[in-house]
Structure 1
Amino acid sequence: MTAVSNVLRYFSPRIAKALTEVRGNISEIRLRSGAPLSITLPDQYIYLTENGAYTTSADKALRITMEDIRHTFEAVCRYSVHSCQSQINNGFVTVAGGHRAGLCGTAVYSPSGNIENLKYINGINFRIAGEMRGAADEIARSVMKNGLKSVLIFGAPCSGKTTILRDLCRQVGDKYPVSLVDERFEIASVSGGNANNHVGANTDVFSGFSKTDGILTAIRVMSPRMIICDEIGSDSDISALRQAWISGVKIAATMHSGSVREIIDSSVYPLIACKAFDFVAITEDRQIKRIFKSEEIIMLKESGGE
């Protein structure tokens, strides 16, 4: 059974029928009201007809209706929108298996300036998660050679960061005590208290915690050798990871970035400069493209190079 087979229940019957006919490895399914049904494959972005055939013509593709959007939105919320409100406020809902439905609509702000709801949902980007055993083999060798090391994994959206981090968690967690801060339920995909993905025999999973709360709680109560978290970047994330490093805990984390220069110019660079990360790895096409030692990044910073 493919990953797409596991998510067909979230779509209206006509969309599910079209997706059933696809034989490629789908990584994204995009629904936009009034627009053609589109999917992302490893080597192309393409539309689907009602019969699941590929087409580059928007006029020939299956058109998405607001009813299709409503069906999928209610299904991913398990027909209880209120229970998913905190995720909705962050712009996504994660379902069993770690698949994530990104939401587009109209934001409703509270008097304090925080988003308190998302209404008039008009677009959904359904990202298909998948376990790829061996995806982290190269970086795992570096991280676990001669003692445990820390690593920052970066890349553009959909470059495979989370897939690689999930497999790294499995490999490290099979050998060392690991605390996984799974804020968006994408890595371990915990449901009913049980992890649906393999994240390591010695891994403790903090699901739904903010990265800051999860990291600081893990340091206090679980004595991990490594803390693993996805998509860092905020000042509070950086502060919590610095506390982990000061406490002697190794770190494996990902962040969105398109180049080494962006990493050097980011708020994460001070953690590299103080050697909180031993390695920095860049991903592309769900693979590790290159692994840098932190010293190489520091030298690039000092030389002004790329």
Structure 2
Amino acid sequence: TIPASPSPPLALSVAMHLMPWDADDVYVIIPSAVYAGNRFQSFKIPYSPRIPAHLAKPECPIVINDVPRLSRGDQSSHNVPSRLQILARDSSCPAVGIFSRRMKVAWLIWIKDHQVSGLGEFGIEVTEEPNGTGKVRFSIPGIRESMMYWQTAIDKSSNDKGISLSHESLVTIRVSAVRFAADKISDVWERLWAIRGTMCDDVQPNRQTQMSLSAAAEIIEKKFNLENWNEELGLYSSAVVSTDHKFYFQSGWTGSMMVTLPLALNCVEPRTRQRAIQNVRTFLTQAVIPSSKLFHGRLAA
């Protein structure tokens, strides 16, 4: 029940509890984001991350950067839950796979809606409780509590915000789950691959027809208008505007001039072409070095 209208900021979620859960037995995957729970030796390495020099040898263990992960055996606490939180965008498929080596059983749990809705983007969370229970939770909007991952490290304060709802609000979160026999982790991947084309109801099973290039371009256009347009500076920022990362503009590499032509020629929204032109105007008038007539490589605070 919503106690007030509008409500204070909140997030809604659906959770599935799994037990018995043993961290030494359970293998957790989230496609493109989490493998084996990301329970590997971790290092905080600034961009661009490279393997530490003392580990650069043939018998190097598996090492990862400071990414969302479940606790390793030598890092876990009997009194503190082990937890990872990501957004749906961090995965190539908004699904969680769980494989129990001892029980020879696996679960696949996934969101049956698009990763982003009018209420925001879905969040994915896996938690290991000290009492031997595992929990998989999907939330809308996704809220990464306290800290969030940002460019090689979990060292940024989370800027995720809840939503306000009225008494008349109706929110539906559609989640599906399957439980099946599995002898090895590859069985989970094969099952995921077999059903991934039908996970969302309005997506056709045939991968060739899931998305046209024009539809993909429209998604990219919306992303740049929503997250990268800096109205004050009059340019498409190289960094997401809502973060505290003050890297505004870069002429090349992954920079803002790279997106100008495709956004201007293939845009759906009229404002996108206007912004692309303004992007060029800002670059030509503000990035030129008067003495050499060359361009600054980047603009940062």
Q: TM-score, normalised by structure 2?
A: 0.25
**Is the radius of gyration larger for structure 1 or structure 2?**
2
**Structure with the larger RCO, 1 or 2 (CA within 8 Å, 6+ apart):** 2
Q: TM-score, normalised by structure 1?
A: 0.25
Higher helix share: 1
